[in-house]
Amino acid sequence: MSLNNTKDRDISVKFDMARPPKKQAWYLKPLAWALCLPELIARKSKVVKRNVEGLKPPYLLLCTHAAFLDFKVATKAIFPHGATYVVAIDGFIGREGIMRNVGCIATRKFVNDVQLVKNLVYSVRRLKQTVAIYPEARYSISGTTALLPPSLGKLAKLLAVPVVVLNTHGHYMNSSVWNLKSKKLPVEAEFTQILTKEQVDKLDYKEINTRIREAFSYDDFKWLKEKGYLIKDKNRARGLEKVLYKCPACGVEHEMRSDGFKLVCGACGKTYEFCENGAISALNGKTEFVHVPDWYEWERQCVKAEILNGTYKIEDDVDVDSLPNSKGFINMGKGHFVHDQNGLKVTFSENETPKTFTKAVEENYSCHIEFDYNDKGDAVSFSKGDDTYYFYFENLKNVIVKIHFAVEELFKLKVEDYTKN
């Protein structure tokens, strides 16, 4: 189903971020449980609870994020209670009414959202509701922990409630962001109170951040191997070239392609098998990386090296979509995209008026990306103020993961104390 609309809608109509959240409607709770149950049974979902004696709502629930299944497991983990869920604005498209009635709060990804903080405080203090947040802000790209916002510790101090982490395992392997076809593997999760209210009050925000990061550690590829599960899909490598875009044999970028369970470099011919146990094995020559996350992190270091030597730059013509509200996307037409050491600059037209969209390096610690999105292809997305833009590349292919690496590495180099907070 296409979510795009035409340019004739009024882009000035913005989503009302200031409207306070509602407590989850009682009559929708049984419906939510009923909708979750079949897949939880099919995946043999197990939730192990730790250090939860005496835990009662409200608390701050921080969840890892790998697939849509995350939401269903979270519903199981907090049963029989409800929660206020933080959801990106694209999750409200065409269903804003029901999303608000089940207690959701909208936000735009990777921005400083003061109104969101106010709504979270309102939910905890006025509604006495647990607030559920997915701080990685997008599905995991590599099946491992993404960067977490440095503001989490400060948010925990502000809310002054217990902090619980829901760390899921197997969700990524069931439905990887680059290949959403379900693999029908069992899943499990750990629901752990990592900080009591007294500890939140006592500790400084930096120590709270450290404990959250430790609790968020996961590696779905390692988990798959340890469990002995196998991915039987003959086309299991389909889409993996979007993540593993650089050949470790010849170093050429964006020429990797998938063929069933194989990855093939179009430049040098090096061929790899994506094995049933999630490992990588070269079919000709040596295997540079057995572990997918190792290949992924090598690519990150390559991008960082480009930044340090001053050669990093991504430039292309793009198709531009705007998402000002929950009515759907508005196509803005063609634009020109440049991302380099200075940040992002995109020129296009808005209501036939030339517009320049910019983001300084320090404005984004990461960015949102989508694979094969909205029937239009891969997109990178940035938000600013009261709008979100999606950029689809006209000529470049399999480039969005590299851009996301660059956004993160540029930020870390610019904001020196990021990893310390």
What was the pLDDT predicted at 169?
97
Q: 308-345 pLDDT, tens per residue?
A: 999 999 999 999 999 999 999 999 999 999 999 999 99
What was the pLDDT predicted at 206?
95
What was the pLDDT predicted at 13?
83
In three-state secondary structure terms, 182 is: coil
* Element at 87 (helix H, strand E): strand 83-88
User: Do residues 365 and 147 lie in contact, with contact meaning Cβ atoms separated by under 8 Å?
Assistant: yes
Q: 389-415 pLDDT, tens per residue?
A: 999 999 999 999 999 999 999 999 988
Q: What torsion do the CA atoms of 226, 230, 231, 232 make, to the nearest 10 degrees?
A: 180
What was the pLDDT predicted at 350?
81
What was the pLDDT predicted at 159?
98
In three-state secondary structure terms, 255 is: coil
Q: How far is CA 128 from CA 116, 123, 161, in A?
A: 16, 6, 11
**3-state percent breakdown (helix, strand, coil) of the chain, nearest 5:** 30, 30, 40
Give backbone dihedrals phi and psi of 308, rounded to 5 degrees, phi first.
Answer: -65, -30
Name the token pair of 149: 């916002």
DSSP state of 67: S
**Residue 358: how many CA atoms within 13 Å on its side-chain side?**
8
Q: What is the largest CA-CA distance in the chain?
A: 62
Question: CA 271, CA 282: separation in Å to the nearest integer?
Answer: 6
Q: How far is CA 246 from CA 41, 294, 401, 402, in A?
A: 39, 13, 11, 10
Question: CA 158, CA 156: separation in Å to the nearest integer?
Answer: 5
User: Do residues 36 and 45 lie in contact, with contact meaning Cβ atoms separated by under 8 Å?
Assistant: no
What was the pLDDT predicted at 132?
97
What was the pLDDT predicted at 353?
87
Question: CA 322, CA 306: separation in Å to the nearest integer?
Answer: 30
Which residues fall within 8 angstroms of residue 151, CB to CB, at 6 or more apart?
Answer: none
What was the pLDDT predicted at 2?
42
What was the pLDDT predicted at 1?
36
Structural domains of the chain ordered from first start: 4-227 (3.40.1130), 240-300 (no CATH), 313-420 (2.30.29.30)
User: Do residues 329 and 5 lie in contact, with contact meaning Cβ atoms separated by under 8 Å?
Assistant: yes
What was the pLDDT predicted at 212?
98
Which residues fall within 8 angstroms of residue 225, CB to CB, at 6 or more apart?
Answer: 277, 278, 279
Q: How far is Cα of residue 254 from the mean position of the Cα atoms in its chain?
A: 22
pLDDT in tens, the chain (421 residues): 345 554 455 666 889 888 999 988 878 888 888 888 888 998 999 999 999 999 999 999 999 999 999 999 999 999 999 999 999 999 999 999 999 998 899 999 999 889 999 999 999 999 999 999 999 999 999 999 999 998 999 999 999 999 999 999 999 999 999 999 988 899 999 999 999 999 999 999 999 999 999 999 999 999 999 999 999 999 999 999 999 999 999 999 999 999 999 999 999 999 999 999 999 999 999 999 999 999 999 999 999 999 999 999 999 999 999 999 999 999 999 999 999 999 999 999 887 889 999 999 999 999 999 999 999 999 999 998 889 999 999 999 999 999 999 999 999 998 865 555 5
Q: At what angle do helices 29-42 and 69-78 cross, to 10 degrees?
A: 110
